[in-house]
Every structure is written in C-alpha cells, then in structure tokens.
Amino acid sequence: MVIDTLKCVGCSDCVVACQTENDVPIGYCRDWITETVNGAYPSIELELKSERCNHCENAPCVRCCPTGASHQLDNGIVLVTGDECIGCGACIESCPYDARYQHPDGYVDKCTFCHHRLEKGQLPACVSVCPTKCMYFGDLDNPNSEVSQLLKNRKYKTLAPEAGTKPKVYYLI
Amino acid sequence: MTTSRRKFIKISALGLGGVATTTGAINMFGANSYLDSLVKENVAKTFKRTPTYCEVCFWKCAAWTYTDEEGSIKKIIGNENDSHCYGRLCPRGTGGVGMYNDEDRLKTPLIRTTVDGEQTFREASWDEALDLIASKFHTIKEAHGAEAIALLKHGAPGKHLEHLYQAFGSDTIAEPAYAQCRGPRETGFSLTFGSWVGSPEPTDIRDTKCLVLIGSHIGENMHNSQVQEMSDAIDNGATIITVDPRFSTAASKSKFWLPIKPATDIALMLAWMHVLIEEEIYDKEYIAKYAKGFNELRDHVSEFTPEWAYGVTGIKPNEIRETARTMANASPSVIIHPGRHVVWYGDDSQRARAMAILNALLGSWGRRGGFYFKESIKVPEFPSPEYPHPKWGWKEIGAKYPLAQMGITTEVMKCAIPSDDNKYPVKAVMVAGTNITKSIPNKKLLEEAMDALDFMVVVDTMPMDVTGYADVVLPECTYLERYDEIRSATNREPSIALRVPAVPPKYDSKPAWWIAKEIGERMGVGAYFNYSDYKEVIEWQLKKMGTSLEEMEKIGVKNFPRKSGSLYLDENGSYEFPTQSGKIELYSNELKSLGFDPLPKYTKHPEPPQGFYRLNYGRAPMHTFSRTANNPNLNDLKKENDLWVNPKVARILGLKTGQAVWLKNQDDIISSFSIKVRVTERVRWDSVYMVHGFGHKEKKLSRAFGKGINDTELITSVAIDPIMGGTGMRGNFVEIITKNPHKNIEI
C-alpha cells in the first residue's frame, strides 16, 4: 500500500469505511489518522496520514504469537485467525505501530487489507472510498504496478524503519 | 429570571405525567409496496442495494445503500456515475448509517403540556399532533392571514414543507443557507457576472493551474467533488494559494500560504488588482471584449499598492506581487474561489465582488480551469393547482436589504417580536431540518422571538436543541427511509439522482412529504397533494423525462447531454452576460444607484481589545454543522471541538493542551460548557479557533450533550451586510477563563 501524504486531508473516511466494511465495533478502529505539525507560525509544515497495520515482511507479531493465530500469507498479508487467538496480547505489545487492538469478543483484531474484498478483485475499503484518492494498493513485486511506479518516481518513507520490520505501507512525501 | 412561557424543555424530561398514546407505525407504503418486495428479495441475497442521495450535508452525493438479510443497513457507497462524488463518499456519507442507527432519534410526535405547573412534553399520536398543528395554523390564518405562519428550513424536508406553505398561501420562508452562509457571494457574483455561483460551485478545479482559496478550507469542509478535484489538481501540479489567518489543511497543500491578519481580505484583493493592472498582466483581450467599467476600476485601485496592503494585511509586498504574477501566469486557468460560508464582517457582498472582479481580470469566468458554464435539467412539475398570492412574504420582510434574493431568517424571526411598526406580524413558525439555535446568531433575539410566538413546530430526525422550544415536535425519518424529490444537479453535465427507502421508517417516524400532505389535507388544501405516496410523483416525473422508476432503481443516477452549448466561452463567438449591460460589470451601476460603493473598498473592522481574541470557527471533515455531533459513527471520529490557541498565548495565560477552559465574549456572554485547549502553531496569536457545531444542551443527545462549546452562543455581535442582509459573525472576541464560571449554577 502506498499513501500520498501530499494529498491526504485527514478526513477519516478510511476509518469509517473500514468500520462499516469490517463490522469494527464503534470505539475501536483498524486504521486511524495522524497529524504532525512542525515549525512555528508562520513557517509551518503539516503532515496528515492514514495509518494501519504495515503488513511487515519481518513481522514481530507473527513471530511472538504462541498459537499461530497471527500468520502471514504467501502474498505478504498478515492476518489473525480469531478462533485460534487466545487474546494474550503479546502481538499488541510487539507491534511498533500500535496497529492491533483487543476486540470485545475476546480476540485480537487489526487491518486485513480487506482480504475478503481482494479475493473478489476489489480494493480495500479505505482505498476505494478515499475522496482524495491518496491511497494506492497493488503488487509491490510487479515492477510495472502503479504502487511500484509511484515508489520509483516519488520520494517516500516508511514508519519506524529502525524497528527492522520491513513495513509494506509506504508514504509519499 | 422571569418565567418564560416557552421554557426550554429538555426532551429527556419527557414522560413526567405524559400520556402515551402512540399507536404502531402505520404502513404508509401500502400492501404490495416496493419495500415489501425488497424484504423478500433480501432473504435470497446477502446484500440488497438501493439508490439514494446523501442528506448528511447539502452536497447531495448519489449513493447506494446496502442492506443485509435482516434488513439492517450495513454500508453506504458512492454512485460511480455521479458528478457530486464520482463513486466516493466523504466520511459523513459513509457514516450516514449512524444517522439511521442513532438510538437517540426522535421516536414519536411530542406535544408541549403543563403538568403540575411544569412544562414538559408528552408523547402523542400522529393524528393528534397533526390535528393540533392544522387547527392552530387555521386559527392564525383566520386572524392574521396565512402570511403570519413562517417556515425556516434546510434540505430535503424543506422542499415538501415549502410546497405546503405555498399551497395554503404563505411565502414567509427563509433558510440559514442564505443570510448565514452563502448569500453574499451570490449577490457579489451576480452583480458582476449576472449569475449566481450556486451549488455545487462551477469551479473547474480539476483542470485549473492555480487555485486561490481565501478563507475557504476545502478538505476541512468536505464538499466532496471539490475535495476530489483539488486532489486531482495537486496531481496535475496546480499551484494552490491559500489566504487564511489559520494554517488550514488546504494551506498545508499550498505553494503559497498568506497568513493574513483577520478582516483585511479586501485590502489584499485590491492590491492584487493593483499589481495585475499596473504590471499589465491582466487578461486584456477578455476585459476589452466582455467587461465594462475597467477605467473606473483602474483609477480606483491605483492607490492600493502592495506596500499599502502590507500595512493593513501583514502580507509582505513581494509576496503580494509574486502571488499576483503566479495567478496571471496561470490565467485563464485560475480560480479565485468564491467560498461558501462567507458571512464574516458585514461587507461580505463587497468582498465577493472583489473576488469576482479578480476572476474577471484573470479571464477565468467561462474558461477551462476557471469557471465553467453549469447546466441542469428541469424536473417537470407534478400537476397541482396554482398557488395563491400572499400579500406579503420574505421579500417584503427583507425589503430594507435591496439585493436580498432569498428570505433572511433573522428578519423573519424579528417579525415575531411585537412592535408598533411591525407591518408583518409572524405568529407561528415551523422549523424543519435546521437547528436554528446553532445556525442563527444572536440567541437573545432568537429566544425573544420564539417566546413571542403563538405556536412553534419543529420537524427533525434528532432531538436537537431547537426542539426544546417547540409546542409540537414531529419525528422525521432519515433519508435512508424515504422517497424524496428527484435531485437535479447543476454541473458540467445535467443529471438526476433518485432517493428510495432502503428500509422502512424506524420507530414512529415519517417522511416530510407525508407530514406536508397530512397537514395540507387537514387545512383544506389537499388538492395540492394529489397522490397517496410520493413515489407516484417520482414515477410521473421520471416517465416525463424519458426514464422510469425501474430504470432509475437500477442506475440511481442518470446523466443527460448538455443543451446549452459549450462548457466554456467560444473564443471566436460573442457572448452576452446576463447582467443589466450584457457585460461583466467591474463597476456596478446597480450598486451606485442603490447608494452603495460601485467598487469594493477596504473598511477597517473592530479588533480584539486587550485580553480578548477573535473567535474564528470552521468545519471538521467528519461533521456537518451541529447535526452529526451525536451520530455514533461520526462522534467516534470526533467527539468534541477544541480551542486552538497559539503557543505564545498559551505561555502568557499558562494554558496547556487538554486543559478545560470557558470563554466569555465582549458582551459578557459565557459559554455554557467548557472546551479543551489545543496549543498549536497553526493559529495566529490574535485569534482562537474552534470547529462549529458542538456544545449541545439537549441531554437526550447522549453522546453530544455538554461536549465542547457552541460557537454560535458567543456570536452576539452581528455585522449586517446592508446590501443583502447577511449576518457577519467573525467580529466576536473572547476571553479565556480557566476557572469554572458555572460553579454553583445549574446549567
């Protein structure tokens, strides 16, 4: 996933769309908006961006899961099998992005990149509703995909690179 | 404190001795209805989708409502063929499902009653409530004329009730969307170009090279297609210039942010005109061909140098010149955006004139990347008798504002206050779809007016604050539960959109068309409502337009080819602007003949006294005015507003982020509730900022009650625009109070 911070207005549509698409209970969220302000009036910079699970290549949540509920698919997507999760919370502690939460039904929940929609050839709900079209989703292994092209041609960053998790959500800056 | 007859009743006080007479919901859709068939189909399919257009704000994006097997609404997704949303709703549209699910909704009609000397509401049946309204309206009509019954409205319910009012002979109708919002820009632009800006604004943002936002915060206001097109413009490398004392979201996307001193925008625009003309970089051909009054304009702005404007606005001369040249380089693909909520300082029509004149100098009206020529399709009117002609109405009430083109809410409400020289006595008011205690400033006047009324009705989906002043409260169902007027959009291409109920009305709520018809029949004007279900009206209209309800249910939106010609001016042809002279009027003879300045002038406005800060307010992308504050989905995103305070101010006053403070304005009005401080560099040291629409006083709004401050209650100094009656609201100043001023006082 690639997110263009130059276009994001921080409207939170991605958050509501995820809640309604994935039945995320009100009061919880799988994605959220952060706002960073730098500088002093009148030389200010503002960065707005939508954050979520980074579906890390080197995922600490998968490594630390005692039951195997947290697992990674061949395509890189990190998922939690609710039935196998005992809600121990180790993964929540291990995640440098604070992307996981305890679902009131007793398991740990987080962004799935809307895996159920991908299977039908649809984009994740957040990407499909974003009014600024600042979010892109695709195959990073394919050099010709839109996401690969964006990363080739634009400046970007990832979050908490020092954690060594190899995150798969990229921010264009 | 004297006891008011119209004592504000908290709807939560309901039931104190009240008589529950509610019967079950009447199935107004009949036996073999569309809804029934839907429910059956739902059994077979996982999701059923029905077309609608959104009513969470006024943009009216067309969408699909998805309902599951149990008939509960799961999600709402934008209609891909709709030019208002291009298939993507904003957070409020996506969260529209919360409007339906909100358990705090109004559930039954309510009637004000007195039990043991205490005013309260009791539940009532629809028959009883409607009979009471019809009989009160009838009595007032007999004694004072139908004109004495006024309507304050907003959105889709307003349309049906307006029809009812015109049928029984009242044109005493107004909406805050005019004098509390976009009225001045419509006046300013029609004086210059001969036509309203209208909604959606015909700004060709997607193809622009330069977008200039003056106090308009696209991105925080989620005017959907505008936000989307601004994003396209960013992709296309367009330059954005933002003029705003606050570092808005749009400012953060801008190449140039001009942190202007509040209330000095006209000075900046005069200097821009000066540079464009002095450096001869305005669109000479366009001005020569289409405009009138250039010499007067040139002479007028000759003294308004960037150096002069620097002293007024705080914007450096080189920045004024550089931005003017940037606009000229992009010309004619440049937009000085007219804004939307533009009632600021009382000279707002003149500020809109300055914007219009700049657009003319840059040759942007009728040009690609500037303003396109919008077009809409007329929906045929369902056969109905001719309306009677009222003796007076909104026009007469607002006559002292010569260019008022719609009703002025504050003037209509003033007519409710008895006085010897009041020629237009208003005795009853119906308020529909607008929470006037938060949308209309000067609460004292509003309360005095409401107190003087013989009768007041509120139609709403939620127990908004205004319902507490009503004699009768009618629970309207949400847009997801009703048919409504066909949406005819004014856009690049004409289009229509359909609204069909996705589910039957919850509780004992009813659609506004049904309420209007029922009152109409009881008042003897049933002939104007010659249908049993509004669906019949839509079916008839769609057939006339060459489509059908079946087709529209499948597509939701239908786009029609343009008939009025090109989107832009034909460079080789001639064009007559719909002004008095047929030309763009840089110099306005009309204003001159009415005794107003024919060219915009900068006027110095009051500044905050020592210890006070200018109260600025705006929008948050996930909320619409005060109406969404209790929506469970949207409340989850933002529960309350906060007070933006510059760090310098915070240091002086010892304020910290998260600290609760109260505000007191220049007229000693203290906020009902507290607000949390947010220390941020994004706001100037001479002003504070908050998002509008919070600080609800109705306890029944379980999530929104007491959260944040209602900016409108602090807006008691109102600068009226003498040209069109707009209520300028940005001239209020507040002190920050750190100790609870309400201790020992019951709120």
Residue reference for tokens 């964006």: A150
Number of structural domains chain A divides into? 1
Weakest-pLDDT range from B44-58, B240-254, B259-273, B541-555: B44-58
**Across B389-407, average pLDDT:** 97
Measured between beta carbons, the chain B residues lying within 8 angstroms of A21 are: 75
- The band of B746, judged by pLDDT with boundaries at 50, 70 and 90, is low
3-state secondary structure of B469: helix
Q: What's the first-to-final CA gap in chain B, in angstroms?
A: 14
Whole-number percent of chain B with pLDDT over 90: 91
Which chain B residue is nearest to residue A40, measuring alpha carbons? Answer: B681
CATH of the domain at A29: 3.30.70.20
Residues B317 and B365 placed together within one structural domain of the fold = yes
Within this chain, do residues B358 and B233 fall inside the same structural domain, yes or no?
A: yes
Asked if the structure places residue B745 within a domain, the reply is no
**Distance to chain A for B77, nearest Cα, Å:** 8
> What is the average per-residue pLDDT within B660-681?
97
Give yes or no: residues B138 and B235 share one domain.
no
B390 domain-assigned = no
pLDDT at B192 over 60: yes
In a mutational test of the A interface, the residue from B68, B73, B206, B637 whose CB has the highest number of chain A CBs within 10 Å is: B637
pLDDT in tens, B73-128: 999 999 999 999 999 999 999 999 999 999 999 999 999 999 998 999 999 999 99
Which range of residues forms the domain containing residue A125? 2-172
- B323-358 burial, b at 16+ Cβ within 10 Å, e below that, comes to bbebbbebbbbbbbbbbbbbbbbbbbbbbbbbbbbb
Question: Within a domain: residue B553?
Answer: yes
Using alpha carbons, list the distances in angstroms from residue B664 to B607, B645, B695, B713.
16, 15, 15, 10
Tell me whether residues B247 and A42 touch, CB distance under 8 A: yes
Q: What is the pLDDT of residue B29?
A: 32
For residue B46, what pLDDT band results from cuts at 50, 70 and 90?
confident
Find the mean pLDDT for residues B215-225. Answer: 96
Is the CB of residue A10 less than 8 Å away from at least one CB of chain B?
yes
Nearest residue, CB atoms, B682 vs list A21, A44, A47: A44
Instruction: Give the count of Cβ contacts less than 8 A between chain A and B.
Output: 116
Residue among B352, B339, B354, B213 nearest B273 (CA):
B354
Residue B162 has pLDDT above 70, yes or no: yes
Pairwise CB contact (< 8 Å): B220 & A20:
no
Which of B83, B231, B236, B246 is the best residue to mutate to test the A interface, defined by the most A CB atoms within 10 Å of its own CB?
B231
Largest CA distance in chain B: 79
Q: Which residues of chain A have pLDDT under 50?
A: none
**In a domain? residue B414:** yes
Structural domain of residue B429, as residue ranges? 8-30+106-175+407-476+511-530
Residues B273 and B257 in one domain: yes
Are B294 and B157 within one domain? no
Contact (CB<8Å) B94/A134? no
> Is B11's pLDDT higher than 80?
no
Question: What pLDDT is stored for residue B213 in this prediction?
Answer: 98
What are A41's two structure tokens?
């009036």
Task: Looking at the structure, tell me whether residues B191 and B169 fall in a common domain.
Answer: no
Beta-strand pair B495-497/A170-172: unpaired
Let me know whether B491 and B472 are in one domain: no
B165: nearest Cα among B428, B536, B473: B428
The count of structural domains within chain B is 4
Q: How confident is the model at residue B21 (pLDDT cuts 50, 70, 90)?
A: very low
List the single residue in B with minimal CA-CA distance to A130. Answer: B88
B425 and B413 in one domain? yes
pLDDT of res. B447: 95
Residues of chain B with pLDDT > 70: what percent? 93
Instruction: Please state the rounded mean pLDDT for residues B175-180.
Output: 96
Contact A36, A19 (CB under 8 A): no
pLDDT digits (tens, 9 = 90+) for B322-343: 999 999 999 999 999 999 999 9
| ipTM of the prediction | 0.95
B145 and B65 both lie in a single domain? no
Summarize pLDDT for B437-485 with one digit per residue, the tens.
Answer: 999 998 899 999 999 999 999 999 999 999 999 999 999 999 999 999 9
**Contact, B161 vs B153, CB < 8 A?**
yes
Q: Residue range B342-371: average pLDDT?
A: 98
pLDDT in tens, B487-519: 999 999 999 999 999 999 999 999 999 999 999
pLDDT at B309 over 70: yes
Q: Report strand pairing: A70-72 vs A78-80.
A: antiparallel
Question: If pLDDT is split at 50, 70 and 90, which confidence band does B744 have?
Answer: low
DSSP state of A173: -
Distance CA B152, CA B466 (A): 12
Q: Does an H or E element contain B236, and which?
A: none
Contacts of A19 in chain B (CB under 8 A): 633, 636
| Whether pLDDT at B42 is above 50 | no
**Would you say residue B2 lies in a domain?**
no
pLDDT band at B9 (very low <50, low <70, confident <90, very high): low
Mean pLDDT of chain B: 93
Based on the fold, state whether residues B633 and B682 are members of the same structural domain: yes
Please list every residue in chain B whose beta carbon sits closer than 8 Å to the beta carbon of residue A13. Answer: 88-91, 94, 621
Quick check: is B351 in a domain?
A: yes
Residue B8: what pLDDT?
54
Q: Considering the domain boundaries, does residue B651 fall inside one?
A: yes
Reported pTM = 0.93
A20 and chain B in contact, CB less than 8 A: yes
A42: closest CA of chain B, how far (Å): 7
Q: Which residues of B touch A42 (CB under 8 A)?
A: 247, 257, 259
In a domain, residue B714? The reply is yes
Confidence at residue B41, expressed as pLDDT on a 0 to 100 scale:
38
Distance from CA of B211 to the nearest CA of A (A): 15
On whether the CB atoms of residues B239 and B255 are closer than 8 A, the answer is yes
Q: How far is CA B283 from CA A33, B240, B335, B424, B583, in A?
A: 43, 20, 14, 49, 15
Q: Among candidates B87, B285, B224, which has minimal Cα distance to A125?
A: B87
Residue B370: CATH number of its domain: 3.40.228.10
Q: What is the pLDDT of residue B743?
A: 81
Mean per-residue pLDDT for B682-711? 97
Check whether B33 has a pLDDT greater than 90: no
Reported as half-sphere exposure (CB side, CA atoms, 13 A), residue A164 has a value of 1
Both tokens of A67, joined, read: 């039951």
Given phi > 0 = left and psi -120 to 50 = alpha, else beta, which region is A166?
A: left
* Residues B305-317, mean pLDDT to the nearest whole number: 98
Q: Are the C-beta atoms of B627 and B743 separated by less than 8 Å?
A: no
Amino acid code (one letter) for B239: T
* CATH code of residue B636: 2.40.40.20
